Amino acid sequence: MNRKGGNEMKKIIFLAWLVMFLPGMLPAQEKVEAPVWKVGDKWTFTGEGIIEVVEVNNSGYILKFSDRKCIFEKQDCNAILFEKFTLNRIYAIEGDKRKKYTMGLRKILDFPLSNGKQWTYSYSAPTLTPWMKATFYYDYSENFKILGWEDVQIRAGKFKTLKLEYKRVASSSFPGQDTGEEIKNQYWYSPEVKYFVKCQYDKNWMKEKNEIFNWELASFQLKK
């Protein structure tokens, strides 16, 4: 066989290899598995918000949220236990006590992640009406969708991220209360950083909520 024929045969073999193995490789490359967090991993955000891994056990990871972290992300929790393989929020931690996590953002992280993945979560939260001294409930429906990969430049650097769209619709059966209120926020998750590096909130929703503010990663440290 001459040199030209040999090169053609090599091309055919290589193409045949791609046909056989590439379809199985692409999904694995696109899928992002849950990161492994270690005690001491820390993320500092604009607005002086800090999140730190303070304990790792068989149940998962306990993360402590600083007082300055946006109240929406904290959901009024000082510490939260995250399940290891999905990073769903499973317990709110208060000292030595654990309370099942039933608030918003329970599944804002739901690994594995991939482009186009969608998932939902629903919960109810009580609201006190001081003028009637009564408590009624709002029902919330949260919808999550991965919009795709995006490079973002922030204070902490430039990172390749998965962009997440978050929608929440609120409803109530209590007379006179608004129903169908929807907010739409966007988050950017970085596999390199092992957490979100940026958030942008619904502008209309932020108007009367001074405690809600857009944030981005200022610095981080990951233990080896």
Per-residue pLDDT at 69: 59
Q: Is 62 part of a structural domain of the chain?
A: yes
Domain count, the chain: 1
Per-residue pLDDT at 133: 60
Q: How far is CA 165 from the centre of its chain?
A: 10
Q: Is 113 part of a structural domain of the chain?
A: yes
Q: Is 6 part of a structural domain of the chain?
A: no
Per-residue pLDDT at 8: 62
Per-residue pLDDT at 25: 39
Per-residue pLDDT at 33: 98
Q: Is 50 part of a structural domain of the chain?
A: yes
Per-residue pLDDT at 220: 98
Beta strands in 30-154 (DSSP E): 42-45, 49-56, 60-65, 79-83, 89-94, 97-100, 118-129, 134-154
Per-residue pLDDT at 22: 41
The domain that contains 62 carries what CATH number? 2.40.360
Q: Which two tokens stand for residue 202?
A: 């619904």
Per-residue pLDDT at 134: 62
Per-residue pLDDT at 14: 47
Say how far apart CA 35 and CA 55 lie, in whole Å. Answer: 15
Pick out the chain residues at pLDDT < 70.
1-29, 69-70, 128-134, 173-180, 210
Q: Is 87 part of a structural domain of the chain?
A: yes
Q: Is 4 part of a structural domain of the chain?
A: no
Per-residue pLDDT at 158: 98
Q: What are the beta bridge partners of residue 29?
A: none
Q: Is 83 part of a structural domain of the chain?
A: yes
Q: Is 1 part of a structural domain of the chain?
A: no
- Domain limits for position 37: 33-221
Question: Please, are residues 160 and 178 in contact by the beta-carbon 8 Å criterion?
Answer: no
Q: The pTM is what?
A: 0.82
